[in-house]
Amino acid sequence: MKGKAAVFTQIEKPLEIREFPLPDVEPDAILVKIGLANICGSDIHFWRGRGPGLKGGMPIILGHEMLGRIEKLGKNVKTDYMGHPLREGDRIIYSYFRPCGQCWSCLSGEAACPYRIKHWIGIPCDESPYFNGAFADYYYVRPGQWVFKVPDELPDEVVSPVNCATAQVVYGLHKVGITLGDTVVIQGAGGLGLYAVAVAREMGAAQIIAVDTIKERLELAKEFGADVILDASTTEGQDRTKRVQDLTGGTGADVVAEFAGSPQVIDEGTQMLRFGGRYLWIGNINIGLKGEIDPAQYVRGTRTIYGVVAYQAWVLPRTLDFLRRTLKKYPYAKLISHKFPLAEVNKAMEVAMERKAYRVALLPG
Ligand SMILES: [Zn+2]
Ligand SMILES: [Zn+2]
């Protein structure tokens, strides 16, 4: 038996479809037949060579946001991490990363392990178990990756973003701490920003203000429950800041959450924050892209910045449960805006790079 994968061989060159044999499954591992695999912003950054360094060398398989069905269960794996029995054919999600458990970040209990994706982009895919990334027919879940069974009522389109986008938003808003009645500004109404509108609301935010440059995204932010939308393509930064001040009785937002992925928005976000406010940074994952910041606004304003790039294990089952409870309330399925067969991965990457898509998904063969 063999499976296909889209292989990354050179920076900014088309991915190549190659075949690999299905690997033997270790006693504590799981081989998954991928259901949907989404193209995340960080896949594109890796493809452009802007990641933290592909130390294991090429070729590798990009892609990490996905769900799948169990193709082969290692002989020791009887249940998921919540104790639910697992059988071949069950739909599961899993963390795409695996904290090492031994570095100082891991020992201190922070979700910040610098070695967490070593088994993904740190290992070439031309050696067993081959299927290290999501742009493929199969994926090899290693011992130590957190695995959770997916509730039957959740469609694939709602679940496929869980292990990156949705979980990242849930954990980020947990870290920044939404308090009952908060005013929250969401910078960037792409996939993550739209989840953030729903999650912030369910966590108790009273007023949610979404900022973006694309009209369609802002319309969708309204469908997700944003109270106010600010179009940054037709307004000036100072007017947007004033609007936030006006909407908060001159105080400023309690929380600003950045999902825009641009250092340019940071100064504006700072000006929107109240004294003592909290700023969540998630979108700015591009190493080396610098922006201006006035540190005194944080010192004299006693404001706090939270940078978040991974999450803890509890976030995955809580996110699944959140989606199950609010499935009819928010239009989650709209976030998978495009679908392509795996064979058309390069076209799919192009569409994902145009900022109009929310999530572009690949359907394995
Ligand atoms: Zn991602
Ligand atoms: Zn670690």
Antiparallel, parallel or unpaired: β 228-231 and 207-212: parallel
Alpha carbon distance 129, 28 (integer Å): 13
Find the 95 Cα to ligand 1 centroid distance in Å.
11
Computed from CA positions of residues 139, 142, 147, 152, in that sequence, does the dihedral angle turn out positive or negative?
positive
Tell me the residues surrounding ligand 2 (ion) with CB < 5 Å: 99-100, 103, 106, 113
Query: What domains, with CATH codes, occur in the chain?
Result: 2-153+327-363 (3.90.180.10), 166-307 (3.40.50.720)
Q: What is the pLDDT of residues 110-132, one digit of tens each?
A: 999 999 999 998 899 999 999 99
Q: What is the pLDDT of residues 307-319, one digit of tens each?
A: 999 999 999 999 9
Q: For residue 183, is pLDDT > 90? A: yes
Q: What is the pLDDT of residues 231-272, one digit of tens each?
A: 999 999 999 999 999 999 999 999 999 999 999 999 999 999
Strands (E), 291-341: 304-307, 336-341
Ligand nearest to the CA of 110: 2
Alpha carbon distance 203, 142 (integer Å): 33
Find the 215 Cα to ligand 2 centroid distance in Å.
41
Q: What is the pLDDT of residues 7-39, one digit of tens each?
A: 999 999 999 999 999 999 999 999 999 999 999
Please check whether residue 221 is in contact with residue 194, taking contact to mean a CB–CB distance below 8 angstroms: yes
Please check whether residue 313 is in contact with residue 161, taking contact to mean a CB–CB distance below 8 angstroms: no
Alpha carbon distance 58, 123 (integer Å): 8
Measured from the Cβ of residue 320, the count of other Cβ atoms closer than 10 Å reads 22
Alpha carbon distance 143, 85 (integer Å): 17
Ligand nearest to the CA of 163: 1
Beta bridge partners of 362: 37, 340
Q: For residue 56, is pLDDT > 80? A: no
Q: For residue 61, is pLDDT > 90? A: yes
0.75 exceeded by pTM: yes
Find the 167 Cα to ligand 1 centroid distance in Å.
10
Ligand nearest to the CA of 311: 1
Mean pLDDT for all residues in the chain: 96
Ligand nearest to the CA of 162: 1
Measured between alpha carbons, how far is residue 162 from residues 48, 65, 272, 361 in Å? 24, 7, 29, 13
Q: What is the per-residue pLDDT for 288?
A: 85
Alpha carbon distance 323, 321 (integer Å): 5
